[in-house]
């Protein structure tokens, strides 16, 4: 038998051992080591840090930031429905991508709508059964739409404009109301104008109705029938996603107009989600008559009827002390104003 040859003297110890081979025992040791490290990581990293790492991974969380749509310059087509009062129909005010974004943004913010009595008290009311959500002004899509509303009105500062999503489930409604305030004594401001755009809708006969603006079908161009309800006796918009109705709430002197009374008709056989865009201007409270002079008295209202007015988002400037329950009931007979 031949003796094994001795390795050449010039070979290193590593070269003499030959190629590395892992046996099954070494493989098991590595697997156990990796498992131990995985168990020890949470002890050295706070759980919230781990959660943030998870949120950064695809499909790791349902709270991922919304994907921003492309912010395009949009010039809606405008058609005037009435000159006195000024009411216009705007085609394609909100793009499809913007509508989808706003629907997702507002969904977790929606709360049951309330109304505000003339003394400032907030209550639930059968006059308004929808849900609403004011949108954060710092959101880039919200800011982009505010700038569009500003440009349409001659570049009014966007600080004077607010946006609110309002959602109507089947059967919900907003009875005839005003967007202006009867007395701006708290802030010397009032709502100059309103946009109401449709984000999504599949209900029937559930548009925005203007009870004081008669519809003369005999003189009406039938091309309007693709935008308003031509079978109604008064001007009533159709719910077309992306389209909007715009109107002025105040006259040239900054006083409220009674002829812009409007209602969100009940959502029948479906639902509706709209977008309110309100613009406020500074007014002179000394020009305003008392609410009793510009609003119907309790004796003038039919049984069970109330006059509803839109209010605005809660702010630090709002004030007013609550009155006794008996006085609140008396005021509610005459005036309700919504907490938008």
* pLDDT for 8: 60
In a domain, 194, yes or no: yes
**Residue in the structure block whose two tokens are 């005036």:** 335
The stretch 214-231 carries a mean pLDDT of 94
CATH number at residue 206: 2.60.120.620
* pLDDT for 338: 47
- At residue 287's C-alpha, the angle toward residues 282 and 289, to 5°, is 120
In a domain, 266, yes or no: yes
- Are the beta carbons of 7 and 16 closer than 8 angstroms? yes
Exposed (0-12), middle (13-18) or buried (19+): which is 1, by Cβ within 10 Å?
exposed
The span from the CA of 38 to the CA of 45, in Å, is 11
Number of structural domains the chain divides into: 1
In a domain, 335, yes or no: no
Tokens of residue 78, six digits: 């405008």
Share the mean pLDDT of the chain.
79
| pLDDT tens figures, 154-174 | 999 999 999 999 999 999 999
In a domain, 254, yes or no: yes
In a domain, 56, yes or no: no
| pLDDT tens figures, 7-53 | 565 555 555 555 555 566 666 666 677 666 655 544 444 444 333 33
In a domain, 129, yes or no: yes
In a domain, 86, yes or no: yes
| Cα Rg, the chain, nearest whole Å | 32
In a domain, 32, yes or no: no
Owning domain of residue 95: 81-115+124-286
| pLDDT tens figures, 68-116 | 888 888 999 999 999 999 999 999 999 999 999 999 999 999 999 987 6
- Are the beta carbons of 242 and 127 closer than 8 angstroms? no
Overall pTM surpassing 0.85 (yes/no): no
The dihedral region occupied by 83, where left means phi > 0, alpha psi between -120 and 50, and beta the remainder, is: alpha
Q: What percent of the chain has pLDDT over 90?
A: 53
Percentages of the chain per state (helix, strand, coil), in multiples of 5? 25, 30, 45
Q: Is the pLDDT of residue 329 over 50?
A: no
pLDDT higher for 162 or 300?
162
331 contacts: CB under 8 Å, gap ≥ 6: 117, 118, 119, 323
**Cα-Cα-Cα-Cα dihedral sign, residues 124, 133, 338, 76:** negative
């Amino acid at each position: 038998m031949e003796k094994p040859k001795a390795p050449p003297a010039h070979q290193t110890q590593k070269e003499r051992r030959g190629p590395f081979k892992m046996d099954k025992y070494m493989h098991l040791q590595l697997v156990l080591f990796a498992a131990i490290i995985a168990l020890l990581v949470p002890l050295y990293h706070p759980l919230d840090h781990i959660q943030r790492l998870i949120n950064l991974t695809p499909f790791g969380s349902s709270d991922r930031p919304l994907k921003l749509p492309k912010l395009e310059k949009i010039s809606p087509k405008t058609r005037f429905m009435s000159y006195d009062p000024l009411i216009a129909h705007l085609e394609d005010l909100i793009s499809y991508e913007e509508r989808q974004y706003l629907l997702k943004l507002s969904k977790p913010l929606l709360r049951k709508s309330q109304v505000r009595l003339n003394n400032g008290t907030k209550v639930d009311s059968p006059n308004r059964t929808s849900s609403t959500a004011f949108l954060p002004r710092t959101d880039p899509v919200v800011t982009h739409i505010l700038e569009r509303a500003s440009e349409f009105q001659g570049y009014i500062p966007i600080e004077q404009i607010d946006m609110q999503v309002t959602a109507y489930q089947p059967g919900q409604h907003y009875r005839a109301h005003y967007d202006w305030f009867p007395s701006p004594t708290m802030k010397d401001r009032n709502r100059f104008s309103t946009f109401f755009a449709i984000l999504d809708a599949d209900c029937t006969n559930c548009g925005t109705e203007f009870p004081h603006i008669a519809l003369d079908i005999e003189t009406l161009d039938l091309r309007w029938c693709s935008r308003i309800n031509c079978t109604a006796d008064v001007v009533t918009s159709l719910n077309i996603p992306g389209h909007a109705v715009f109107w002025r709430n105040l006259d040239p002197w900054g006083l409220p107009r009674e002829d812009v009374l409007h209602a969100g008709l009940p959502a029948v056989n479906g639902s509706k989600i709209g977008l309110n865009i309100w613009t406020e201007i500074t007014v002179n409270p000394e020009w305003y008559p008392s609410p009793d002079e510009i609003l119907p008295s309790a004796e003038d209202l039919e049984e069970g009827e109330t006059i509803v007015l839109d209010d605005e988002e809660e702010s630090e400037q709002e004030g007013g002390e609550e009155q006794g329950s008996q006085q609140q009931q008396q005021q509610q007979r005459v005036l309700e104003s919504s907490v938008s």
